[in-house]
Amino acid sequence: MFLLVAAAALALPEGSSAQQVLMDRGVRAGGLWCFPVARDSLQYVYLPAAARLATDDQGRPQFSFVRYVVNATADSARAATITEAKGGGILTFLVLLDTPESMIRDAERTLRGRYKKNEIVVRGPIVFQDGRYTLVSSVLKNASAGTATAEGTSGDAGAGTTEHAVIATGRAPVLEGNRLALSFDLDPEHASLLLQSFQMNTPDVSLVFDMTFEGLSEAYDADLTIDWSEVKQSQSFKAGASYYFIGADVDLAFDEMFKKHAINLRSSGSDASMEALLNTVYSKLLELMFRPVEPERIPPDQSGGLMDALSKIGNPNGPMGARKTTGFGASVGYQRKEIRSEGKSQLSFNHRSSVQRHSFVTFQMGDVHKRYGKDPHYFRAVNLGDPTFQQREVHVSVDAALLPDFDSYVNTVTVTLRKDHQNGEQTLREVVLDRASVKKGVEDLRMIYGWNGDEDRMAWLDYAYRTRWSFKGGGAFESDWKKTSAPMIDLFAPYEHRTVQLVGDQGALKSKGVRAVIVQLDYPFFGERRRPQMVVRPGEAIEEKQVQITLPLGQPDYEYAVTWQMEGNKRLTDKRRDSSGLIFVDELPVNANNGGGTQ
């Protein structure tokens, strides 16, 4: 309904606009899902079909499993002469999304034969908007000594059990071919169990990628009416804003709202298009009522059964087996938004709009031990009894979502490691990331420190690190020193991207004499204020008007001012503070300031 004059896609990956696909025209061809490009229906892109263990330039797998032993004196009260030593294991491997060239060519031949057009070309993989992974295993559960360090998700300490559990969950690379590095520090019991699992035909380590991609929906003769008073009476909204949902829960919540007529859909058209329409409708409702949350950032005492639900992600009866998994992510949770709107809202789907879908790819470790079990480059047991000639390698893992931000937001990121040795000496190491270094690749960043009078071998593993961020356009952030012994430092952004969307009814604005609406946002960004603006006019699809803002992590609030330009050169202005991501521009304030005059 309105025209957006500010840049509304500040952080979209380069070239993504040129690769917009027709979402509802995707077809299965040669084992791949293929989608026509919106600007040229003879060009297709495909969804990557598989994940595999990454290899180096010489074709060797990027994998290692080291079991280590630290000699220690046993309890003097025991008479045994053979006692247990301390130690554990460190598992590190890199995974990448990959599609065999033969499958791509088969898909291209299938499309040409199906549509009788030899000009059809499958030009490459789709560019994902976002990606997440979930690592599920029973062997790795409750690793007391360590953490699933790829994204900072800890394993619970305590006695192990055999049920499946989420070991790590976090962001994945968004471009096919990007590597995802994972590293785990295990206690002796789980290191031994994992080695036994590797020797089996199917090692008990599975990784599920949940990749988000975006495209254009079809135009439908359909309208959606939302009765907000009835929505607030539904069971999902009575649960409270602190309650977390998985995709299947959100699906059931919307089903309940439809049954109780809190939401009503009017449509006309063929049954064949109904499924695609419902996917579009559910995606829009998801944007309006829920926000995604990253499970690894939810405090354990607040996550409830969320992690247990995610542990069943690969099961037929789990989230991936539920319907509409193409609309809701299986590796994220959801939290309902604070809805302050009253009355009813009506949305029209008579135009093409941007929608998101999800693609799932599963990775199994495979026969890596059968092929490389006797090669010390991959499987090794070492004794840490002679520390003088040993060194510690600390890897730096970069959140894949950060990579596009070096083009738009970030100048440099400096990671500093500080090792305080037991003889009083100190070792400092740094890694500096900028746009040039990111383009060269960030899958093998590491810092090294050695032995320097460190007689306590377990304390030798401890170090501290901090990060310093410099942003384009001004602003800087420096974290506190953080102590850890993890084999990998996970680089998370100290900010989060939020989308602020305009919502309203075109007819209501017209009936109230509104000729234009100006929305001015105001929010903090590490010592500075940023003020993007949206200007909207009647006659356009209001639901498509949105802007992406970047807020310091944990500070979701922003301020905004809405100015309604009325007939007769009059103005109404209203200022508010919010965090919901929704601005209802058709709700004119009763006691707003009347500025009068002209613009």
Q: Are residues 467 and 529 in the same domain?
A: no
- What is the per-residue pLDDT for 217? 84
Q: Are residues 326 and 280 in the same domain?
A: yes
At which of 332, 351, 370 does a domain end?
351
Residue 127 covered by a domain: no
Q: Are residues 415 and 483 in the same domain?
A: yes
Judge whether residue 560 has pLDDT over 90. yes
Residue 551 covered by a domain: yes
Tell me if 487 sits within 8 A of 185, measured CB to CB: yes
Q: Which residues 6+ apart lie within 8 Å of 439 measured at CB?
A: none
Angle between helices 274-289 and 247-259 (to 10 degrees): 100
Q: Are residues 394 and 434 in the same domain?
A: yes
At which of 351, 367, 401 does a domain end?
351
Residue 2 covered by a domain: no
pLDDT in tens, 187-216: 887 788 788 888 877 777 788 888 888 888
Q: Which domain holds residue 460?
A: 389-487
- At 255, is the pLDDT very low, low, confident or very high (cuts 50, 70, 90)? confident
- What is the per-residue pLDDT for 19? 65
Tell me the pLDDT of the chain averaged across its residues.
77
- What is the per-residue pLDDT for 466? 95
Q: Are residues 421 and 511 in the same domain?
A: no
- At 539, is the pLDDT very low, low, confident or very high (cuts 50, 70, 90)? confident
- What is the per-residue pLDDT for 178? 66
Q: Hey, what amino acid is at 429?
A: R
Per-residue pLDDT, averaged over 3-7, amounts to 27
- The first and second tokens of residue 134, run together, are 């979930």
Residue 444 covered by a domain: yes
Judge whether residue 367 has pLDDT over 90. no
- The first and second tokens of residue 169, run together, are 């969950």
Three-state secondary structure string covering 335-404 = EECCCCCCCEEEEECCCCCEEEEEEEEEEECCCHHHHHCCCCCCEEEEECCCCCCCEEEEEEEECHHHCC
Residue 59 covered by a domain: no
Residue 471 covered by a domain: yes
Per-residue pLDDT, averaged over 233-242, amounts to 65
> How wide is the angle at C-alpha 187 spanned by C-alphas 181 and 190, nearest 5°?
80
Per-residue pLDDT, averaged over 309-330, amounts to 48
Q: Which residues of 232-251 are buried (b: 16+ CB within 10 A; e: fewer)?
A: eebebbeeeeebbbbbbbbb
Q: Are residues 505 and 469 in the same domain?
A: no
Q: Are residues 300 and 397 in the same domain?
A: no
**DSSP at 590:** S
Dihedral sign of CA atoms 361, 367, 369, 372 in order: negative
Residue 415 covered by a domain: yes
Q: Which residues 6+ apart lie within 8 Å of 216 measured at CB?
A: 20, 21, 22, 23, 38, 352, 353, 354, 355
Q: Are residues 479 and 528 in the same domain?
A: no
At which of 432, 461, 487 does a domain end?
487
Residue 309 covered by a domain: yes
Per-residue pLDDT, averaged over 71-94, amounts to 65
- Name the pTM for this structure: 0.59
The number of domains in the chain is: 3
Q: Are residues 333 and 456 in the same domain?
A: no
Q: Are residues 238 and 325 in the same domain?
A: yes
CATH of the domain at 514: 2.60.40
Strand pairing report for 582-584 and 495-503: parallel
- What is the per-residue pLDDT for 81? 45
Per-residue pLDDT, averaged over 11-27, amounts to 62
Tell me if 245 sits within 8 A of 334, measured CB to CB: yes
Q: Are residues 425 and 505 in the same domain?
A: no
Tell me if 337 sits within 8 A of 580, measured CB to CB: yes
Judge whether residue 309 has pLDDT over 70. no
Q: Are residues 251 and 346 in the same domain?
A: yes
Give the Cα separation of 219 and 231 in Å (integer): 26
